[in-house]
Copies of this chain bind each other. A is one copy, B any other.
C-alpha cells in the first residue's frame, strides 16, 4: 500500500470534531476621514448581549468561507459597500472576551472614502459614523474612544481596544504603504491628501515637506486639471497612480 492511498484513507476517516471548537468571527474597524478627523462606522447592537451598545461591524465566519470572504460579506450586507480596501489587523482569542461564550475574533481594518461610506449608510440607520479619539502618547494596546454629537459612545466587548489598535496600525503604515489613497476620491488636491494624512497622524505636517515626499514617491499623477470655484488660487488635481513604479 503506498503512502498516498494511506493518507487518503486516513483523511476520509479523520474527525476533527472530537475536540471542542470556538466560534470564529470577523470584526471590522471600518475607518474613514471626515471633517479632518478619523471616524469609524459603528453599529448599534439590536439584541443581547450588550444590547444598545455600539460595536464594530462583524459576523461569524461560515463554513467554506475564508475570513476575507466573511469580511466582504459583512461589509456588503451592513453597509452596501464592495471593493473596499481591507487588511488583517490581529486576532483576539481571550476566552472571556465575549459573554456568549468562546468566540475568536479576527480583526480587520477597512478604509473607504467618506462619500462612499456615507452613501452606504443612508440606507441603514442603526449604523453611525463616530469620531475616533486615539489617546496620544500611545504605546501599545491603547483603547480608542468613540465620540458622537451626543458625547462619548460606549463600545461593546473589546472593540475599543481593537479600534485603538487599528488606528495605530494605520498611523504606523501611513508612510510605508499607499493606504491614505484608499480614503481619497478619484481626484484630489495635494492639500486634500495632506489633510487626510494629518487626520490619520493626529498632528500637522509641513506643507513643503509633505509635497516633496508625495511627489517624489511617484504614487500620484496630475490629471491636468485644476479645482476652481474656491475663493483663491485653484489647486492642481491629482489621482492615485497604482503603477508599481516600473524600473
Give the CA-CA distance A20 to B24 in the complex, in Å.
Answer: 10
Tell me, rounded to whole Å, the shortest Cβ–Cβ distance linking A163 to chain B.
18
Complex CA gap A10/B174 in Å reads 43
Chain B residue at smallest Cβ distance from A3: B51
Output the least CB separation between A13 and chain B (Å).
10
CB of A115 to closest CB in B, whole Å:
29
Chain B residues lying within 8 Å of A66, measured Cβ to Cβ, are: 93-95
A96-104, A182-190, A202-210, A231-239 - interface stretch:
A96-104
Q: Which of A57-65, A120-128, A141-149 contacts B (4 or more CB under 8 A)?
A: A57-65
Tell me the number of copies of this protein.
2
Distance of A127 from chain B, by nearest CB (Å): 22
Residue-by-residue, is A167-203 near B (CB-CB < 8 Å gives 1, otherwise 0)? 0000000000000000000000000000000000000
Q: Is A67 an interface residue (CB 8 A)?
A: yes
Partner of A24, one of B6, B48, B93: B93
Main SS at interface, chain A: loop
The answer to whether B49 touches A67 (Cβ under 8 A) is: no
Contacts of A49 in B (CB 8 A): 7, 10-11, 14
What are 6 inter-chain pairs, A to B, with CB distance below 8 A?
A11-B48, A11-B99, A19-B60, A88-B91, A91-B91, A104-B106
Task: Give chain A's interface residues, CB within 8 Å of chain B.
Answer: 3, 6-7, 10-11, 14, 16, 19-24, 47-52, 60-68, 88, 90-91, 93-95, 99-104, 106
